[in-house]
Structure 1
Amino acid sequence: MRNQIPAFRKHLLQHVGLKEASVNLYILKIQELIKWMEGNAYETSPEAITRKRIEEYLEWCFRQRNSNVTRRTKLVALRRFFTFLLYDEIIQADPSLRIPLPRPGKRNVRIFTQDEVLRIFQTCSIETEKGLRDVAIFILAAFGGLRASEICDLKIENLIEDGDNFYLQVENSKFGESRIITNIWKIPRQFLTAYISFRLTAHGAGPGSPLLVSYRRGGKVKGHKLTEGALDQLLKKLAGLSQIRKSRVNMHMFRSSHATDLRKIEGWEVESIAKRLGHANIQTTADNYFGDWNPVRKKFASLAAYWKRFNLKLWIKEGAIAEG
């Protein structure tokens, strides 16, 4: 089977027209089957693969606690592969054809809609220093997809502006690896740099100081590094003021929303989304955001185009700042 993988890759790219990231995911699933067969000393030639063997493999995946979505993804990849082998006249019948696809089940990922995210932003007063901090928090979560812990750990020096380029450097990720977050467009960049200006001038902070700090009730800076619990409390308060009717809200919902948003943007596939989110395993991204239960037709050229309603008019309309 390994010998057919290069031709299968070419077929998916040139004949089917799939993106590179999608092709890589299919190839990965085929390689996982081959590895399992070799580990069990099974014959791996295409002609030796039977429906019984594939069912045995899927049962093994079930015992390994693979979710229904994961096993469904694997079987879909195998069907693609055997369809290609039929097309190339390497086999005479598809052994995967009559194997039922596992039901994907109900999605557990909780997200905010775009309208809900904008309403949360509207509750932040951009006339106050604390309000600008709150806007910065939600920009990092909703437009950057950062984890709450990563937002708390950001230092001023982690926001880097180099001419027309602006990016975030995440140093303390969940798995100890660093990554760069790009595609932060003009409007959110202006809010972030405005708050950094407060930190550097009014607070006397340095490049190595925490980016986001706590405030007293009257709005005076307290200066303590924020905690994940503080972020969730802030979100719950503002979600209530925004009249968002959800039984439970937390900061991770912004991250899930961001991943879902990226699926609507041209050029973003499972591989690039996994890299942006800092997932250690691309399968996590595929299971959560690329299941068959959630088809998406991409319509937007960029995140800026998708979030075009995020601008100063958002606050002018609600009277948060005076016109003129």
Structure 2
Amino acid sequence: MHWQSYLKNFKSYLTLERSLSGHSVEAYLHDVQKLVQYLELSGQPNVTPETVTDVHLLDFLYYLGELGIAASSQARVLSGLKSFFRFLMLEQAIGQDPAALIESPRLGRKLPDTLSFPEVEQLLAGIDLSTPEGTRNRAILEVLYGCGLRVSELTDLKVSELYFDIGFIRVFGKGGKTRLIPIGRDAIKYTQIYVEEIRRHQTIQKGSEDILFLNRRGKQLTRTMIFLIIKDLAAKIRLQKNISPHTFRHSFATHLIEGGADLRAVQEMLGHESITTTEIYTHLDRDYLKSVMVEFHPRGKGR
């Protein structure tokens, strides 16, 4: 039997024998489906529940960590996998439990921490929109969190690379590689407000004419300035976490995957290289990426 047959039986077990809610059952199934996606992405589509090993599971958890998935979320996924393989042992479908000896990721303090969605909303609500800088900063954080950008990708973002009519932005990532990323309703809204009400009235310095986010002197913002904006805001709302621009990228990935988004779609939006051994990577259809953003990102709804 292959994965889908076992998942069907696992679903019946969780529903009938363990009497779990529909939401809990779907969460368990998503955990196993993420592992299956990983095996396909990493060039191991022939690995079955009978042949999967602890090495496969450890590599999978490492991959989630590379995506920026929080340790707490990794631990929850591992818990789902442990339940699945315990079920297979009960059914005598496998002779050895590959997850039995794997320890959960440590849940100690992380640098940087991953934000919960309420914490993201609290940070956004703490921005003073009555000032030009506040209006700009709201747009910055909406884009950071809404698109999962690296800080360098944010500071280099160009006005000419905003395709709001189709709901995408183009960014230049590591190694000069470009990618299109879906952008949600809220990020579009606050970026348009910033462009129309603040940026349009600035005197822009030579060389920064096409740069989206500018300082008060009309020049491109530095990476350090983005760090300071975030640190000051965290202090203002008394957030007891050590956060940075990368925290929003981690949170973007964590919230999408916790919501059930496809690993491959998240990997593409983050701009990570392929994890296949041949490094062959098939780019996903733009409509599909947008549908993932709309369905699974907390601030992507409604676009």
**Change in 2 beyond 3 A, CA 1:169/1:304:** same
Does the Cα contact within 8 Å between 2:146 and 2:299 map onto a contact in 1?
no
Mapped contact 1:155–1:210 kept (Cα < 8 A): yes
Residue in structure 2 matched with residue 233 of structure 1 by the alignment: 228
1:213 & 1:183 partners in 2: Cα distance? 20
> For residues 131-159 of structure 1, what are the alpha-carbon distances to aligned partners after superposition, in whole Å with 9 as ceiling and x for unaligned?
21111110011222111111011011121
**TM-score relative to the length of structure 1:** 0.59
TM-score (norm 2): 0.62
Paired residue type of 2:244: N
How do residues 253-272 of structure 1 correspond to structure 2 at under 5 angstroms? 253-265=247-259, 268-272=261-265
**For residue 142 of structure 1, what is the aligned residue in structure 2?**
145
1:140 to 1:175, Cα distance in 2 relative to 1, 3 A: same
Rounded Cα–Cα distance in structure 2 between residues aligned with 1:15 and 1:30: 26
Larger Rg: 1
- What is the alpha-carbon distance in structure 2 between the residues aligned to residue 198 and residue 153 of structure 1? 21
Asked if the contact 2:170/2:180 (under 8 Å) is kept, the reply is yes
Q: CA deviation at 1:203?
A: 3.1
Unaligned runs of 5+ in 1: 1-6, 35-45, 216-221, 284-299, 309-324
1:179, CA displacement in angstroms?
2.0
Classify 1:14/1:275 alpha carbon distance in 2 versus 1 (closer, same or farther; 3 Å).
Answer: farther
The corresponding residue for 2:190 is 191
> Aligned partner of 2:254: which letter?
T
Percent identity reads 22
Alignment partner, residue 271 of structure 2? 278
Gaps of 5+ in 2: 12-28, 66-70, 277-293
Task: Name the count of aligned residue pairs.
Answer: 247
Report if the CA contact (8 A) 1:143-1:184 is conserved.
yes
Secondary structure at 2:164's aligned position in 1?
A: strand
- Check 1:147–1:29 CA distance in 2 against 1; reply closer, same or farther (3 A cut): closer
Contact 1:160 1:168 in 2 (8 A): yes
- For the 8 Å contact 2:124–2:138, the answer to whether it is kept is yes
Counterpart for residue 157 of structure 1: 160
Q: CA deviation at 1:9?
A: 5.6
- Over 3 Å counting, the alpha-carbon distance change for 1:95 and 1:301 in structure 2 is same
Letter in 2 for 1:269: D
Task: State the 1:173 CA deviation.
Answer: 1.2
In 2, the alpha carbon distance for the partners of 1:282 and 1:16 equals 28
Contact preservation (8 Å) 1:120, 1:242? yes
> Which of residues 119, 130, 138 is equivalent to 1:116?
119
Structure 1: how far apart are the matches of 2:42 and 2:169?
33
Alignment partners' CA distance in 2, 1:134 and 1:306: 19
Cα distance between partner residues in 2 of 1:29 and 1:95: 25
The root-mean-square deviation of aligned C-alpha atoms, in Å, is 4.7
